[in-house]
C-alpha cells in the first residue's frame, strides 16, 4: 500500500510508523535540492498502511509546526506482459528544465547511433522512442540512474 504524504523530508516516516518498505520522493523540477512537497510511502501490508494513516491523520500530528495530509494513493495497474514485450519507448524523469531534446537524443543513442527514432520532452520528463525494442531495453539498462547536469535519470 502506498500513502502519499505531503511533508518534507519523508525519511522520518520510517521512524514514525511501522512496516515501511520504501519511500519515493520526487524532486522539484526547478530546484533538485528540494522535493515537490509530497512522498509515496510503501508499507509491508495493508494493515501497516492503515495503522500509519490512522496515526498520521490531520490534527493528531504535526511536523515543524505544520499539519500533514495523508491519504490512500491510487494503485497503478499492471501492464499486460504481452503488450510490454512490444514497448519501444522509454520514460525518462528527473530531468533539468534546461535539458534539451537534442541532448537526450545524443545521450540515449550513444551506445548505437541512429537507434533513437524521436524524443519528446515535457518540462522535467521525456519520452525516448527507439526504432526497435532491443535497443530500448539496452538503453534502459545502460542509462537508468545515469547523470547529466547534476540530475540522476530514472
pLDDT (tens digit per residue) in 34-89: 777 777 888 889 999 898 888 877 666 666 666 777 888 877 777 788 888 889 99
- Indicate whether 148 pLDDT > 70: no
Residue range 13-31: mean pLDDT, rounded: 76
Least confident of 16-20, 97-101, 134-138: 16-20
Beta-strand (E) ranges in 28-149?
A: 35-43, 62-63, 66-67, 89-92, 116-122, 125-130, 147-148
User: Which is higher by pLDDT, 139 or 61?
Assistant: 139
Residue range 17-35: mean pLDDT, rounded: 77
Contacts of 113 (CB under 8 A, 6+ apart): none
- How open is the CA angle 40-129-118, to the nearest 5 degrees? 125
- DSSP 8-state class, residue 11: G
Q: With DSSP H G I counted as helix, E B as strand and the rest as coil, what are the percentages for the chain, rounded to 5?
A: 25, 30, 45
- The residue whose grid cell reads 522535493 is 35
pTM above 0.85, yes or no: no
Full set of structural domains in the chain with CATH: 2-67 (3.30.70.330), 81-152 (3.30.70.330)
- The per-residue pLDDT for 5 is 47
- The per-residue pLDDT for 52 is 85
CA-to-CA dists, residue 87 to 95, 116, 125, 143, 152, angstroms: 22, 14, 18, 17, 23
Q: Which percentage of the chain shows pLDDT scores above 90?
A: 26
Amino acid at each position: 500500500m502506498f500513502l502519499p504524504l505531503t511533508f518534507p523530508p519523508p525519511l522520518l516516516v520510517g521512524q514514525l510508523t511501522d512496516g515501511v518498505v520504501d519511500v519515493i520522493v520526487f524532486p522539484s523540477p526547478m530546484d533538485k535540492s528540494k522535493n515537490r512537497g509530497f512522498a509515496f510511502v510503501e508499507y509491508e501490508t495493508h494493515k501497516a498502511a492503515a495503522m500509519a494513516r490512522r496515526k498520521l491523520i490531520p490534527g493528531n500530528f504535526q511536523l515543524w509546526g505544520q499539519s500533514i495530509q495523508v491519504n490512500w494513493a491510487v494503485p497503478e495497474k499492471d501492464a499486460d506482459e504481452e503488450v510490454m514485450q512490444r514497448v519501444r519507448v522509454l520514460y525518462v524523469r528527473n530531468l533539468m528544465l534546461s535539458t534539451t531534446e537534442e541532448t537526450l537524443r545524443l545521450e540515449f543513442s550513444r551506445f548505437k547511433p541512429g537507434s533513437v527514432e524521436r524524443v519528446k520532452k515535457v518540462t522535467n520528463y521525456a519520452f525516448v522512442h527507439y526504432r526497435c525494442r532491443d535497443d530500448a531495453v539496452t538503453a534502459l539498462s545502460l542509462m537508468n540512474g545515469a547523470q547529466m547536469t547534476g540530475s540522476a535519470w530514472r
